[in-house]
Amino acid sequence: MPDESLPIVFRASLRTAFIMMAIGAVGFFAAFIKIADIQPGSVRFYHEVAISGRSAGWLFLAVGVVMAAVGVMIAVGRCPTLVIGDTGLVLTRCRAAPVPIPWRDLERVRVISVPVPRSNALMLWAEVVDVLYVVTKDGKSHGVGPVEKASDVEAAIRRAAARTGHRLE
């Protein structure tokens, strides 16, 4: 947990960036295998849609490039970033203008648990991902992004708001 003196800064971890780059590398490798195949077959998606192996390779390459680029942007820019200060919150996302949210405009902070279905050969199971949103008095909801554990960020925002004399729902 960061120091309790304001401002408190939460940033995306380098681990997230490296995971994105690793997914991109897997996409590059899969693309190379499919594009360079001497006798390309077809690839089936959900047992209904079939595309040629080379087309699947180009699709893997496109996804790999996007994932690697996002990973590099996260690593270089250390975004997204959430700054909790005396005047309010500042959300900074990759390649976007910072979004300042003064304490007087902040209505509530909420954590939503989203089940993400996963499957493997043996069973179907779900992973629960917590997503943090800050909601302003005009009804706008801003997703904070993967900066830290959502419950820790929520607690830090509530403590900072209370310290500055603002009450959140």
- Residue among 76, 90, 87 at smallest CA distance from 14: 76
DSSP-assigned letter for residue 87: S
- Residue among 132, 90, 86 at smallest CA distance from 109: 132
Q: What is the largest CA-CA distance in the chain?
A: 69
Q: What is the pLDDT along the chain (169 residues), one digit of tens a residue?
A: 444 688 889 888 888 889 989 999 999 998 998 888 877 788 787 778 888 888 888 998 999 999 999 899 888 888 888 999 989 999 988 888 889 999 999 999 988 887 766 665 555 556 667 788 888 899 888 888 878 888 888 888 988 888 888 888 7
User: What is the H or E stretch that residue 119 is in?
Assistant: strand 106-119
To the nearest 10 degrees (0 to 180), the angle between helices 14-35 and 53-77 is 160
pLDDT for residue 78: 81
Edge-first strand order for the sheet with 8-11 is: 8-11, 81-84, 88-92, 99-102
pLDDT for residue 127: 65
pLDDT for residue 2: 47
Spans of all domains in the chain: 15-77, 88-163
pLDDT for residue 1: 46
- Taking the C-alpha atoms of residue 146 and residue 16, their distance in angstroms, rounded to an integer, is 8
pLDDT for residue 119: 61
Q: Are 136 and 143 in contact (CB under 8 A)?
A: no
Mapped onto helix, strand or coil, the DSSP state of residue 17 is: helix
- Taking the C-alpha atoms of residue 7 and residue 132, their distance in angstroms, rounded to an integer, is 19
User: pTM to 2 decimals?
Assistant: 0.71
80-120 residue pLDDT tens: 889 999 899 999 888 888 899 999 999 999 888 877 666 65
